[in-house]
Amino acid sequence: MMKKYTCVLLAAMLALSLCGCSRDLPAEDSVTAAETTATTLVSHYLRAEYLYRPVLSELCEHSAYVAEGTIQTAEITVIKGITFDVLEISITESHYGDLAEGDVITVYTNHGLEDFPAPAAGESYLCFLNDAGDICPEGTYEAVMGHACSFFVRSEETYTNYFTAEVFQRTELEAALLHK
């Protein structure tokens, strides 16, 4: 009896190893921003734009601060084996939280994506932020999703995501922040 179960188990394992058991990511055209969250990780055929695609309602929900600012300095540092971009940002407009125009804050973002440029000094962004976790120095901030896809470039009344090119209007941001 035990040999029968062992044979069935081995046959099932062989079938899985030959056929595979992972799902491929959906075609880009079939995925909408509303369907994709920051935690979407479906297979070893990972495409970063799906893993890191921001959803405005989630960004607002998980942010303690939403502010626009200009990067004064940008450096790279390693803390406990993790590489971070360290950004000194001068706040130009605060949308949510207790940051004020003129504040200069230090923001840590993960520097884990090769072939993708980090935000640079002189550039301005809308940022979704939280107080930094235990690994970063006290009194600093971190990007909500841990990396620069919590950053958006403003053009008139439109914000475009730095990483995925997702777009939303200022009125959508204001509406999402009203529900916080």
Q: Which residue range forms the structural domain that includes residue 83?
A: 56-178
pLDDT at 178: 92
Cα distance between residue 43 and residue 23, in whole Å? 6
- Residue 48 has a pLDDT of 44
Q: Is the pLDDT of residue 147 over 80?
A: no
Q: Which amino acid is at 151?
A: F
* Contact indicator for 72, 89 with CB cutoff of 8 Å: yes
Q: Is there a domain that residue 96 lies in?
A: yes
Question: pLDDT for 121-134, tens place per residue?
Answer: 999 999 999 999 88
pLDDT number for residue 115: 57
Total domains, the chain:
1
19 found inside a domain: no
Question: Does residue 98 belong to any structural domain of this protein?
Answer: yes
Nearest to 132 by CA among 116, 110, 159: 110
Q: Where are the beta strands (DSSP E) in the chain?
A: 65-79, 82-96, 104-110, 124-131, 141-143, 151-155, 158-161, 167-169
The half-sphere exposure of 80 on its side-chain side, counting CA atoms within 13 A, is 5
Burial of residue 162 (CB within 10 Å: 0-12, 13-18, 19+) is: buried
At 80-100, the pLDDT tens digits run 988 899 999 999 999 999 999
- CATH classification at residue 151: 2.40.50.120
Q: Is there a contact between 83 and 111 (Cβ–Cβ < 8 Å)?
A: yes
Query: pTM (2 decimals)?
Result: 0.70
Please state the rounded mean pLDDT for residues 28-52.
39
Asked whether residue 139 carries a pLDDT value surpassing 90, the answer given is yes
pLDDT tens digits, 54-90: 788 889 999 999 999 999 999 999 999 888 999 999 9
